[in-house]
């Protein structure tokens, strides 16, 4: 027995050490510290000064390595939310599924989370395996294991400028390959949104999805329908504003994922001119994203659903309904159908309706109505939408350009443009202005005569 004990001890002594994470130096990963948010670095420094580990993590590290500008910066640490919050002047604990801390620096929020443990058998899930509550803290290594894809399980240490890589994420990133961590079927059941994220990352990086990662998506696409509509809306918005929206939509359709997101997409793309209109809208959106300009979610979804609204609008008008009531009914029916799957926020749907309802008004240029149009809050967005319709051949391009010139002009130039239109003979398609009626002077009654009342 003593011999066996000695043998085991010697075996442990000379056994190869367990392989730890790769620690990649600056000259290998290429991240320039000057491109990292100074507020994210500050959060890491403060936590480090108080004896905690802290790293910039996830999408920011991924984007910095491939030369993209991150939209936001997250920090991961072994400090708990209750330990993090007192260290910063403006910080609040948020979250139900998993608590984390928002550290606020003016307009920038640094989302700071505690290392999480991987999913366990006793965690609360729905009947399909989707995790409903995930509030278990873990170690640094466990936190890396529970992240979705290898390229998102990267940690940047601003102190020594190393990237810590547990799952060969940097190698996958260099190959532009999206690879899930762990068993794909199990990971997709835990969170079906990961299937959408795989498509988005592959399109954003102009890369591919690893075969094992992609294979189960076609058979598991129906799980998307079990995800809360508000979360689907957030993920869909990220997908449409990633700079490669049309590629994402085509991939979603190829994998059957769009049925839980945009059930009208098949109908839209199969209509004459439908794909052309959507492609034009998303190409212009992609161009704005790549040039660093802001994107309006209202405009995006208004463009994505317009073809279906337009078809129903024309059908109702053919049945004898008046223009605006017909458009209102068409918009309501499409939005009601879409909201069942995708929780478009009320403020966005309200803006979408305004953009749609201004389209018939562009067909007429008449006096005071032009100035009333200009005063509308969504006038500029509606003008941009009109340009899109003109590019797709739905509207006269010359008239659309006149409205855009009006939108870009100052007050004096606008007055001149409207006055010039008033002097020109009316086009056949534009209704003539109604003649002004001269008021007849009121006859005064003789003093003392009874009134007509």
Q: How far is CA 382 from CA 133, 357, 373, 403, in A?
A: 42, 9, 10, 10
SS3 percent helix, strand, coil of the chain, rounded to 5, is 55, 10, 35
Catalytic residue among 63, 74, 143, 247: 74
Is residue 72 part of the annotated active site? The answer reads: yes
Of 32, 72, 126, 405, which residue is the catalytic one? 72
* Beta strands per DSSP E along 256-413: none
Residue 119: other Cβ atoms inside 10 A = 20
Distance CA 137, CA 114 (A): 7
201 near 149, Cβ under 8 Å? yes
Whether residue 74 lies in the annotated active site: yes
DSSP secondary structure string for all residues of 163-223: EEESS-HHHHHHTTEE-BSS-HHHHHHH-THHHHHHHHHHHHTT-EE-HHHHTTHHHHGGG
> Which H or E element spans position 285?
helix 274-290
Q: How far apart are the first and last CA of the chain?
A: 124
Question: How does 155-186 read in b/e, with b if 16+ C-beta sit within 10 Å?
Answer: bbbbeebbbbbbbebbebbeeebbbbbeebee
Choose the catalytic residue: 63, 134, 148, 191.
Answer: 148
210 a catalytic residue:
no
- The β-bridge partners of 22 are 165
- Residue 18, SS3 per DSSP: coil
Residue 89 neighbours by CB under 8 Å, 6+ apart: none
Please classify residue 245 by burial: count the beta carbons closer than 10 Å to its beta carbon, then call 0-12 exposed, 13-18 middle and 19+ buried.
buried
Catalytic residues: 72, 74, 148
């Amino acid at each position: 027995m003593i011999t066996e004990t000695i043998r085991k001890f010697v075996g442990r002594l000379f056994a190869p050490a367990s392989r730890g994470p790769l620690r990649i130096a600056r000259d290998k990963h290429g991240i320039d510290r000057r491109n990292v948010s100074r507020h994210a670095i500050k959060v890491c420094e403060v936590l480090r000064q108080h004896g905690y580990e802290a790293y910039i993590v996830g999408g920011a590290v991924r984007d910095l390595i491939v030369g993209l500008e991150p939209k936001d910066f997250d920090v991961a640490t072994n400090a708990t939310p209750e330990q993090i919050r007192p260290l910063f002047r403006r910080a609040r604990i948020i979250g139900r599924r998993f608590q984390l801390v928002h550290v606020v620096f003016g307009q920038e929020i640094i989302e700071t989370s505690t290392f999480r443990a991987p999913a366990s058998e006793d965690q609360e899930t729905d009947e399909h395996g989707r995790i409903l509550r995930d509030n278990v803290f873990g170690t640094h290594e466990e936190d890396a294991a529970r992240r979705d894809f290898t390229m998102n399980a990267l940690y940047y240490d601003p102190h020594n400028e190393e990237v810590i890589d547990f799952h060969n994420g940097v190698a996958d990133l260099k190959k532009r390959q999206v690879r899930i961590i762990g068993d794909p079927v199990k990971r997709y059941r835990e969170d079906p949104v990961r299937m959408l994220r795989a498509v988005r990352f592959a399109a954003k990086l102009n890369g591919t999805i690893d075969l094992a990662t992609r294979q189960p998506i076609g058979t598991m696409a129906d799980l998307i329908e079990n995800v809360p509509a508000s979360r689907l809306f957030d993920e869909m918005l990220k997908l449409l504003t990633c700079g490669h929206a049309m590629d994402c939509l085509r991939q979603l359709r190829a994998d059957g994922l769009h049925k839980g997101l945009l059930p009208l997409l098949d109908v839209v793309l199969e209509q004459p001119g439908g794909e052309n209109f959507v492609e034009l809208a998303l190409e212009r959106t992609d161009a704005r994203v790549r040039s660093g300009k802001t994107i309006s979610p209202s405009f995006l979804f208004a463009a994505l659903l317009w073809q279906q609204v337009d078809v129903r609008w024309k059908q109702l008008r053919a049945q004898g309904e008046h223009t605006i009531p017909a458009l209102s009914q068409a918009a309501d029916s499409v939005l009601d159908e879409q909201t069942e799957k995708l929780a478009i926020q009320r403020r966005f749907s309200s803006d979408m309706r305004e953009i749609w309802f201004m389209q018939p008004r562009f067909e007429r240029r008449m006096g005071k109505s032009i100035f009333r149009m200009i005063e509308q809050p969504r006038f500029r967005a509606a003008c941009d939408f009109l340009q899109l319709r003109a590019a797709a051949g739905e509207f006269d391009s010359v008239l659309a350009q006149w409205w855009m010139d009006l939108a870009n002009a100052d007050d004096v130039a606008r007055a001149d443009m409207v006055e010039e239109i008033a002097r020109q003979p009316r086009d056949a398609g534009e209704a003539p202005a109604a003649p002004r009626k001269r008021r007849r002077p009121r006859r005064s009654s003789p003093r003392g005569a009874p009134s007509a009342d």
